[in-house]
Every structure is written in C-alpha cells, then in structure tokens.
C-alpha cells in the first residue's frame, strides 16, 4: 500500500508565518512518534501515518542555513529595510538563498520511517521531482557533482545555471524545509547575496521563464511539481 500525503497550498505567505506553520506540523508528527515508540512492530504498522506536502510563495526574504556565512548577505540591516526584504537565520542545511513571488517553495514534511532511511537519497529525489518537471518543458536539467539542487550544465558560451535550491533538516527522520524552484521570480534579487555561498564566475541563478524566454503559468507548473512528487516518492494524495 502506498503512503498517503496531505497536500496544501498556503499561497503567498510571510516566511516566518510559513516557517511556524510547518514547524507545528513537524512537531505534531514527532510527538506522535515519541508516544508510539514503545509499541510492538506489528502494532506500529497499523498506525495512521502522517505526511504533508506544503506549497507556497513568500514575500521577498533571504534565509541563511546553519552552515552558511552571514558575509554572503551583501546588504546591511538598513538596506534590507529600505528594499523591503526580510532576513532569517534558520535550521536547514545549506547557505543563503532568496525566496520571493514567482518562486515555488515546497515543504515536504514526511516521516521517512515509512519511506526509507537515507538522507542522500531524499535530496536526490527532491532534485528528481524538478528534473522531471523541467523535462516536461523539454528542458534537460541535471545535477552537478559537489553541489545540491538542479542545474543546467552550460556550455562554452553559457554558464552553469541553477534553477532550484534545496535545503533540508531532519529530526527523528521527519523532514523539514525543502526546495525552492524558480519559475517567474525577480532574478535581480539574487544579486544581493552570494547564492548558496557559490561565488564562481561560471555559475549563476536562472528561472523557468528566463530559460524559455516567456512568462510561465505558475499554477500549471505547480500542478506538474505536485504530480511528480507523488510519482518520484511513490505515494498517493490523501
């Protein structure tokens, strides 16, 4: 039997509000696991599993992961306020990134006890969701060794281009945070940071609309990503 995942699109939301929301969901799952840890294996198999997939967009914000450097934010507090950006240090992996309107942020809150125990595989499958979505637009994206996220490899005349950033956190094998997929965001906002701490001249940030050179139907892309989540992770929506 496939796992059941509850899906919710919470729309355009302040980052802190969305962070608090997913943290509450995350804590409920962890608390239930703690209460049930003394059950026998056959009894645990009968438990209602609790998985969630949350989609949203954020008001312009920069977030810094626990392994990142604050020096990668190129604005001071006054400039952040003047330009209307929020800034948060958070508990995901990775360095600094930008979230804003036109970017699809996906927060899978999965209890991996019912999927697999492999952090590396989890990140690779998140990448695969976006790779398959891009493939549906006849865009061939891939991974670059040594870097997380989804990239276009570039050529002699084009740089390597990152279209999706990934940063995750796990506690008791329950996932938190997720991916940020650039569909129609304002790419100039990435100029205020060293995106993901990568300062290589041959690597830049891109978006689906930039690659296709046209405005993209955000809702249509979102539906594709939702579909490929269920295909790649092999679950059904509740």
Q: Please report, for the domain that includes residue 105, its CATH number.
A: 3.30.930.10
Residue 40 binned pLDDT confidence (cut-offs 50, 70, 90): low
Q: Which residues on neighbouring strands pair with residue 147, listed in sequence order?
A: 144
Q: Give the pLDDT confidence of 186-220 residue by residue, as tens digits.
A: 999 999 999 999 988 899 999 999 999 999 999 99
Task: Spell out the long-range contacts of 153-156 with Cβ–Cβ below 8 A and sequence spacing 24 or more.
Answer: 154/202
Burial class (CB in 10 A: 0-12, 13-18, 19+), 18: buried
Please, are residues 228 and 134 in contact by the beta-carbon 8 Å criterion?
no
Dihedral (Cα; 180, 139, 126, 119), 10-degree rounding: -120
Kindly report the CA angle at 119 between 42 and 49, in degrees rounded to 5? 35
The encoded tokens of residue 124 equal 């690779």
CA distance 212 to 133: 14
Please, are residues 150 and 141 in contact by the beta-carbon 8 Å criterion?
yes
**Catalytic residue selected from 196, 204, 208, 232:** 196
What domain count does the chain have?
1
Tell me whether residue 196 is one of the annotated catalytic residues: yes
What is the residue range of 35's domain? 3-237
Does position 128 have pLDDT exceeding 80, yes or no? yes
Q: What is the pLDDT of residue 45?
A: 60
Please, are residues 52 and 8 in contact by the beta-carbon 8 Å criterion?
yes
Q: Give the pLDDT confidence of 83-125 residue by residue, as tens digits.
A: 999 999 999 988 999 999 999 999 999 999 999 999 999 999 9
Q: Smallest Cα–Cα separation from 94: which of 146, 148, 58?
A: 148
CA distance 179 to 105: 6
Does position 46 have pLDDT exceeding 80, yes or no? no
CA distance 117 to 202: 35
Residue 47 binned pLDDT confidence (cut-offs 50, 70, 90): low
| Tokens 């329950």 -> residue | 174
């Amino acid at each position: 039997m496939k796992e059941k995942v509850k899906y919710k699109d919470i729309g355009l939301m302040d980052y802190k509000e969305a962070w608090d929301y997913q943290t509450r969901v995350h804590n409920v799952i962890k608390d239930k696991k703690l209460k049930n840890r003394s059950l026998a294996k056959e009894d645990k198999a009968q438990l209602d599993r609790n998985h969630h997939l949350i989609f949203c967009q954020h008001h312009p914000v920069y977030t810094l992961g626990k392994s990142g450097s604050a020096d990668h934010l190129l604005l001071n507090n006054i400039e952040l306020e003047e330009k209307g950006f929020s800034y948060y240090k958070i508990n995901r992996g990775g360095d600094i990134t930008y979230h804003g309107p036109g970017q699809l942020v996906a927060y899978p809150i999965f209890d991996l006890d019912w999927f697999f125990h492999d952090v590396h595989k989890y990140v690779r499958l998140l990448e695969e969701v976006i790779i398959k979505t891009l493939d549906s637009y006849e865009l061939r994206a891939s991974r670059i060794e040594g870097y997380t996220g989804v990239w276009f490899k570039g050529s002699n005349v084009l740089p390597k281009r990152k279209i999706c950033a990934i940063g995750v956190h796990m506690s008791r094998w329950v996932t938190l945070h997720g991916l940020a997929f650039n569909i129609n965001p304002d790419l100039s906002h990435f100029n205020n940071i060293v995106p993901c701490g990568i300062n290589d001249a041959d690597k830049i940030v891109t978006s689906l609309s930039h690659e296709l050179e046209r405005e993209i139907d955000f809702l249509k892309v979102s539906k594709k990503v939702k579909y490929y989540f269920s295909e790649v992770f092999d679950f059904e929506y509740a």
